[in-house]
Chain A
Amino acid sequence: MNGMLNEQTSIYLQIAQMMENDILRGIYAEEEQVPSTNELARQFRINPATAAKGVNLLVDEGVLYKKRGIGMFVSAGAVAAIREKRKAAFYEQYVKSLVSEAANLQITQTELLEMIRRAAGAQ
């Protein structure tokens, strides 16, 4: 957890997202302990209540779980769960805005599909 906070979205959502990114990258493995809300508060200089809100979001989603008196851990299967969730959001977040910006620029459907194919080929 050492990303940078921006002002585009709520801080607690950014904390949750950074934690997810770190889990996807294997920085925190499944069944491993993650930083406490006080550690996150100190590191990002944010109110602990905000950090807790972000972490609790992931607890509610089953990505993290609490061990009473010890701390917060990454759930087994968290990586797959995060990937599934992000896939579901992919259409809403990326595809829709891609199509609407293409429409703004009067890019035809054929042109758009051609661009996507080209980009996918380059990867």
Chain B
Amino acid sequence: METKILRAEALVKRYGKKEVLHGLDVAFEPGHIYGLIGRNGAGKTTLLGCLTGQLRTTGGMVSYGGAPVWENARALGEICFSRELSPMLMFGQNTYKVKEYLRAARYYYPHWDEEYARRLMKEFGLDEKKRICRLSKGMLSMVTIVLALASRAPVTILDEPVAGLDIVARERFYQLLLEDYAETGRTFIVSTHILDEASNVFEQVIVMDDGRIIENAPTEELVGQFHHISGRADEVDAAVAGCTVLFCEQLGRSKAVCVRCNDEALARISAHDVDVAPMNLQKVFVALTGHKEEDSHETK
């Protein structure tokens, strides 16, 4: 397996006058599963487009193994970006058949595994003769998953692969991903809004907010810094004095806050008469990126 790093340095992307990526630095090391999360419009898909040479960057540089990615056929064969498929194209319905997408992938990806693609098609019950515009939302996602997994590309990027999939199919997808990862050890970058099953699969999580990367850390390390503290308001205030408080809810005399702190500070907090509970990635994500909603509520 190739051991090349996919890297963006001072990456800027503007659409017309609107700047959507404000100078990002990020590196994807080989052999890890990365989760990319962010609210709608945070810039995730734009970042992925720039990383894979599908979008031209306005400033900065994207490289794979040290060589620029832009119009670099060799690098692009190593990187698979499985985008969400659209049932509509610019001039009407997307009447291409599933098998035409498979054929294109076969030509495009040098590591393409036809036998694996067939197996996945069967597993998902997909009919290759169907037209893209005739597929349900879940089936569209399944096609993107087949393309991504069977590409066997050393860097495989999936944008919203589980959108429209039910919980059983989502769990199955992550199982397939882990099976393939155990076998190949290739790099996966997965963007998603559904964090429930995903958070334990991501070794590293990258949080985007408003065109910036605000967190990039091992998932467990990031989540472990956040704690939910609740109890009597005065006791909670005393307990968390001097800590970074991310949100706060008060109901009569009781109060709940989310703090970000290290183990030492947590021990100090726990010594007070308060309840301390761990948080999951979804709650941490809301605490980190939900601020705008909160602000707008307050000003109303």
Contacts and interface: CB of A to CB of B under 8 A. Distances in A.
Interface of A: 5, 7-12, 38, 41-42, 44-50
A18 to B, nearest CB: 14
A10 B200 contact: no
Residue with the greatest number of chain A CB neighbours at <10 A, chosen from B175, B181, B197, B200: B200
A45 B200 contact: yes
A75 to B, nearest CB: 25
A50 B200 contact: yes
Given A8-B278, A50-B220, A45 B175 contact: yes
A10 B220 contact: yes
A12 B224 CA distance: 12
Contacts of B197: 45
Contacts of B174: 45
A50 B205 CA distance: 14
A41 B219 CA distance: 15
B33 interface: yes
Contact of A47 (B179, B203, B224, B280): B203
A44 B278 contact: no
- Counting chain B CB atoms within 10 Å of each CB, the highest count among A7, A12, A44 belongs to A7
A29 to B, nearest CB: 26
B201 interface: yes
B168 interface: no
A42 to B, nearest CB: 5
